[in-house]
Amino acid sequence: MKVTIDPVTRIEGHLKVETVIEDSVIKEAKCSADMYRGIEKALRGYDYLTAIQITQRTCGCCPYAHAEAAALAIENALQIELNKNGKLLRNMVIGAYKLKDYVLHFYTLSALDFINISDILNYNGNDFDMLELKKYVLKEISSKKVFPNPLFSQKYKNAYIKNKDLNITLINHYLKSFEAMKKMSEMVKIFGSKSTHMVTIEAGGVTTRPTAERLVKYISLAKESQHFIEHCYIPDVLEVAKRFKEYFKIGKGVDNFLTFDTLLNLDGSYLFTGGFSKDFEYEEGIEPYNIIEYNNYAYYKENGGYKPLELTELTPLTFDEFKQNHTKYSWSKAPRYKGHVVEVGPAAIVINNYLRGKDEKLISLVDKFNRELGIDIKDYNSVMGRHLSRAIISKLIIDKIIEDSLMVEEGKLGFIQLKKPPSNVKGIGLTEATRGALAHFIDIGENGYIRNYEMIVPTTWNISPKDNQNIPGALESMLIGTEIRDINNPVEIARIIRSTDPCLACAVH
């Protein structure tokens, strides 16, 4: 039997997932990215500094990460080191944005996979937003306009949390998460000058001057965000995890994880250190030119595998070629590290940094949750492991950006003005976006013009099609082998997909 989800909802962009299920087990899975834009191509010929603004337009979820990766690539090409305030302020902008994105993923995009939202009808308290929601639902039910909404359908009833009080708490926090995200966006705006697409992240630092007023406002919002993370987000993820413990065994993909350094400390170390682990054996350090992107199954004429910046352009199939070709099934390329399929993202960060064995705070947090939930580090390679990882990372990030904000030197610009445009240099910017390892490669020609640009993006790793050795991508591997309990309601598929938080706008760009 074939089960196709097209499009997958509650993710960013257009993803089609086709599965073949036999004897209640997924035997085949295909992830298709159905959209192509060509942002890298559009960059060529423009001034090198425009990359920071233009690559942000790849996406409305993680523009901060593209801005950072582009700035890092230019700084790498020019061999620039930021000053103290530049380092701190950049962490404060991108850290706040990441938090907003994690909260958005858990509450807005994923929680409805687990909460029984119809329990709002059992709400008898006096919270204004909850009463408004209840009123709205009752009105819609009586008008029969929108309902029966699938979320209220009896068909899905057994798939959700049964404890009414917990559902009511989670619905309440779902509503509160909007206010929390607004505060995190405010934090981004204070030094990013605007959100979504910020304008003050530049090669050379952050151009907003850290006045006392801005710092005080930032710290006060950060403390409120910390409260939400500690008192709503983390407890909610734990409660959901306790009720869906089997999901620590569902959605297990390959045991290979790739991460990049992110959130620089003033001593030159990072909050999360990059590395590669294969079968849970970790090695520190990354060689970006060990990445090859394969195209046998991607809608381009070139079928080979290419290193970053090796090609200036891939040629999309024409419509006639597209109709005749029955092998290719995605606009996404298939990146591989040292030839291996890897998972990137929050679980990869937690697993790699835990295996690295040097970050005591991360290790003690992971050990604490492992004891509470009866799991071990290998279980993070799962649906619930990915949700838990985001919560753990959020706690570490909020603590770090509060510490960073207290070290900023008031009034001192965190920005170094670049001198003249460079000629004939290349640079690499590696960082972690919300969804995982992000790499930008820039090749600057004469007088600062972009000769070639390449982005290798988190979701490309995760939703990649098969590579030239016919090995399925990371999400395809997570799906293959999954047992479907109720073939009429294969919720496992959507839960696995959403656990990776795919962004298709980024994946193909």
Does position 508 interact with ligand NFE (CB under 6 A)? The reply is: no
Give the binding-site size for ligand NFE (rule: CB under 6 A). 17
Q: How far is the CB of 99 from ligand NFE (least distance, A)?
A: 13
Neighbours of 48 (CB within 10 A): 28
Q: Please choose, out of 182-190, 222-230, 325-333, 500-508, the segment that lies near ligand NFE by the rule CB under 6 A.
A: 500-508
How far, in Å, CA of 87 to CA of 78, rounded?
A: 17
Q: Which is nearer to ligand NFE, 235 or 288 (CB)?
A: 288
Does position 459 interact with ligand NFE (CB under 6 A)? The reply is: yes
Q: Do 230 and 395 meet the contact criterion of CB atoms below 8 Å apart? A: yes
Of 210, 305, 448, 458, the residue at the interface with ligand NFE (CB under 6 A) is: 458
Does position 503 interact with ligand NFE (CB under 6 A)? The reply is: yes
How far, in Å, CA of 163 to CA of 398, rounded?
A: 30
Q: Which is nearer to ligand NFE, 12 or 454 (CB)?
A: 12
Per CB under 6 A, which of residues 382..441 are in contact with ligand NFE?
A: 433-435, 438
Q: How far is the CB of 438 from ligand NFE (least distance, A)?
A: 5
Contacts of 464 (CB under 8 A, 6+ apart): 31, 330, 332, 333, 334, 335, 341, 473, 474, 476
Does position 62 interact with ligand NFE (CB under 6 A)? The reply is: yes
Ligand-binding annotation for 506, yes or no, is yes
Ligand-binding annotation for 503, yes or no, is yes
Q: Which is nearer to ligand NFE, 328 or 435 (CB)?
A: 435
**Joined tokens for residue 205:** 């630092």
Does position 65 interact with ligand NFE (CB under 6 A)? The reply is: yes
Does position 26 interact with ligand NFE (CB under 6 A)? The reply is: no
Q: Which is nearer to ligand NFE, 234 or 475 (CB)?
A: 475
Instruction: Write the single-letter amino acid at 187.
Output: M
Neighbours of 264 (CB within 10 A): 19
Using CA atoms, how far residue 16 sits from 35, 64, 324, 368, in Å, is 11, 26, 20, 37
Closest CA to 226 of 397, 365, 361, 408: 397
Per CB under 6 A, which of residues 41..60 are in contact with ligand NFE?
A: 59
Q: How far is the CB of 348 from ligand NFE (least distance, A)?
A: 13
How far, in Å, CA of 268 to CA of 275, rounded?
A: 16
Q: Which is nearer to ligand NFE, 12 or 467 (CB)?
A: 12
Q: How far is the CB of 8 from ligand NFE (least distance, A)?
A: 14
Closest CA to 461 of 400, 391, 395, 508: 508
Burial of 416 (0-12, 13-18, 19+ CB in 10 A): middle
Does position 305 interact with ligand NFE (CB under 6 A)? The reply is: no
Instruction: Write the single-letter amino acid at 364.
Output: S
Per CB under 6 A, which of residues 314..353 are in contact with ligand NFE?
A: none
Of 66, 105, 328, 466, the residue at the interface with ligand NFE (CB under 6 A) is: 66
How far, in Å, CA of 50 to CA of 88, rounded?
A: 23
Using CA atoms, how far residue 86 sits from 53, 105, 416, 457, in Å, is 18, 29, 8, 25
| Residues that bind ligand NFE in the complex, under the rule CB under 6 A | 12, 59, 61-62, 65-66, 433-435, 438, 457-459, 503, 505-507
Q: Pick out the residues of the known binding site.
A: 40, 59, 62, 455, 503, 506, 509
- Indicate the annotated binding residues for Mg(2+): 40, 62, 455, 509
Known binding-site positions for Fe cation: 506
